[in-house]
Amino acid sequence: MPKPTYVAVAAVSIDGYIAPIGHPGSSWTSAEDKQFLHEILDSADVIIVGHTTYEIARGPLSKRNCIVLTSKVDSTEQKGKFCLYLNPERADLGETVKHLGYKRVIILGGAQTYTYCLEQGLLDEIYLTIEPIIFGSGLPLFESGKKFVKHFGLSRVKTLNSDTILLHYKKIPE
C-alpha cells in the first residue's frame, strides 16, 4: 500500500509570515491564491488543520474530510460526518491517517500544525504562495524549538497574478 503524501499549503508575506500577530486567517491573500487553495483542497482525501484554523474556515471545510488537531479531546473523537478531532499528544496522527486509508493529505495550518507535521516527518511537499506584502512581524510558517535542516527540491514556479507567485517544493529523501 503506498504511503500517504503530506502536502502543506501556505501563503506567506515577503518576510515569511503566515499572518500578522493577532490576526490569524487568510483575509489578506489574493483572490488568485484563494482560487488555488480551493482547487488543492478539492484534491485532498483529508485536510489537517489546527483548531483555530478550523474555526476560521469552518464554512469552506464543513463538507470536507478534516482532522482537527486539538487538545480539547482525550484521544480522538468523531464530530459529525466529516470531522475527526485528534489530540496529537494522545493519538498517533500518522497511524490514524494510514488506518483511515487516506492517500493525499493537505496540511492547511496554522503555524503549530505545520510545525507539528514537520517535526513528525509528516511533510512531503509544500505549496508556498508568496504575496507582495511585508508585515514586519507576525506568525512564522514553522516555529520549532528543535534545530534541524531539511532539504527540498523546487518542483514548479507558477505565477498566480502579476505580483503573487506559487512555489511547489518536494522533500529530498534523507
CB 123 within 8 A of CB 107: yes
**Of 34 and 168, which has the nearer Cβ to its own copies?**
168
Chain position carrying cell 532539504? 151
**Does an H or E element contain 119, and which?**
helix 111-119
Q: How far apart are the C-alpha atoms of 15 and 101, rounded to whole Å?
A: 37
Q: How far is the CB of 147 from its own copies (least distance, A)?
A: 7
Q: How far apart are the C-alpha atoms of 33 and 75, rounded to whole Å?
A: 34
Q: How far is the CB of 2 from its own copies (least distance, A)?
A: 24
Q: How far is the CB of 28 from its own copies (least distance, A)?
A: 8
Q: How far is the CB of 48 from its own copies (least distance, A)?
A: 18
Whole-angstrom CA distances from 32 to 103, 118, 163 are 26, 26, 11
**Of 9 and 66, which has the nearer Cβ to its own copies?**
9
**Of 18 and 47, which has the nearer Cβ to its own copies?**
18
Chain residues binding its own copies by CB under 8 A are: 12, 14-17, 20-21, 115, 118-119, 126, 128, 130, 132-137, 140-154, 157, 159, 162-165, 167, 169
